[in-house]
Amino acid sequence: MRPSIRTVQLLIAAAAAASSANAQSFSFSLQDALSSTNIGANFAIDLPGAGIGDFDAASNPGGTSTCTNLFGACNNTSIAFTNSLEIDSVFAGSPSGSFAASVDTAAGVAVVSNFIASPLGKDSGGADLTLNLLYNTFRTTQPNSLFVGGFNLPLPLGQVAVDNLLLVQTADAAGVLTPTAVNGVYDFAALLPTELSFEIDFLGSATQVGPLPFPLPVVGTLDLRNPQAQLTLTVDASGKQTIPNPLGGQTFEDIPLGLPTILPPGSVANLVFDITPGDLALSFLTDLDWSALGTAVCEASNYCVSTPNTFSNGALIQAVGSTSIASNSFTLSANGVPPGHAGRFALSTKQTQIPFGDGVLCLGGVVRRFPIVWGDANGAASYSVDLNNTSQPGYLIAAGSTWNFQLIFRDPLGGPLTFNTSDAVSVTFCP
């Protein structure tokens, strides 16, 4: 049984409070051949406005005239309409899109960001349009007909294409990872805040609808056993919402519309309408089965702080060279180090930020140190990490792992504790 939206929200609240300092980053792409999209949606938008016959004494003397009086001359007066447009659509196809995920299996958290998906890929969807007319009684000439008011008159407008259907994430979302019985495979649950937008042929004009708020509750499975991570996402949800004024007060003028006559039937009264769309009511039923493959992102990012020393306002660390295990060409470098003084680069899998010596310790948990290095005349120190040397801590670094690095150095005249630190850099390594 899939978890309810409320259950997903509670799980995510717990995940958001967890630390993800040791997360592995992945860049995911949706796999259209392994994915399917089925969305049924009904949109009903208010279209208050006015209609009038298309009669014009000079340019269209044979046109329709409208009036509210039941007898006498018909002087082509404006008629108030309370209209609505219903859009019934079924979207089916294969998606395209991408997103990023920061995965921390130890904390049971996967943070999804930059999710953008076209549920139908490059394909278009279809929608049936029905214009519902509500009005007080009026009559027309050319043709002579009586339109009895007070009840809804549905007017089918046929099917139109829906293009550029798009879901875009509006904020990062922390999902919950739960280990399964299979090592390296995790159940996944998240609530993605997204916005839905699309284009539709609206009364003869290509019109952008949205973006509309569209919370996306997803559950699935994350498989980390292979070089490429695989994340399956399932969305099985329904909902209703009202979006005030989705077209921003846009007005459509002089829209021609032929009304089938009722009394007597068989003719068409030609009117032109001015309308200003109002609120949009949306109901939907979503069934998505999507699969995405993720490539580990080999990245380095600085964090934490440094403090002034006798040579600079603070020593700054850099990751230089390749983060590929196979290339074995990773180097740590720091600038702003007191010349002629010894230091040691250190690494750990966890992060912290606490006072340490005359500086700040940015490494948490078990901290291991590389051999001694010296600040040169320019205040630079560096160390080439040999990932294959079993006698050095660099041998612990494996593909897909994230490690944190910092330089700890002597500074005898810099403060009462005679040693200081650089800021830190977090590095994710690739095969």
- pLDDT single digits (tens) 296-320: 778 888 999 999 999 999 999 999 9
pLDDT higher than 60, residue 84: yes
pLDDT at 416: 93
Q: How many CB atoms lie within 10 A of CB 11?
A: 20
Distance in angstroms (rounded) separating the CA atoms of residues 202 and 153: 19
Where b means 16+ CB within 10 Å and e means fewer, 75-104 reads: ebebbebebbbbbebebebbbbbebbbbbb
pLDDT at 202: 61
pLDDT higher than 70, residue 21: no
Token pair 């002034």 is at which residue? Answer: 308
**Residue 145 in contact with residue 64, Cβ under 8 Å?**
no
CATH T-level assignment (fold) for domain 300-428: Immunoglobulin-like (2.60.40)
pLDDT at 10: 41
Token pair 């899109």 is at which residue? Answer: 97
pTM value is 0.60
> What is the rounded average pLDDT of the residues 157-184?
89
**Which residues face 132 on adjacent strands?**
84, 154
End-to-end, the C-alpha distance of the chain in Å comes to 38
Q: How far is CA 370 from each of CA 373, 392, 395, 410, rounded to the nearest angstrom?
A: 9, 7, 11, 15
pLDDT at 105: 86
- Structure token digits, residue 173: 């979302």
pLDDT higher than 70, residue 268: yes
Where b means 16+ CB within 10 Å and e means fewer, 187-226 reads: ebbbbbebebbbbbbbbeeeeebbbbebbbbbbbbbbbee
> What is the rounded average pLDDT of the residues 83-92?
84
- Structure token digits, residue 137: 């009684």
Token pair 């999209």 is at which residue? Answer: 37
pLDDT at 413: 92
> What is the rounded average pLDDT of the residues 189-217?
80
pLDDT higher than 50, residue 14: no
Identify the band that residue 45 occupies on the pLDDT scale cut at 50, 70 and 90: confident
Instruction: Spell out the domain ranges in the chain.
Output: 5-296, 300-428
**pLDDT for 114-129, tens place per residue?**
999 998 887 777 788 8
pLDDT at 38: 87
305 residue type, one letter: V
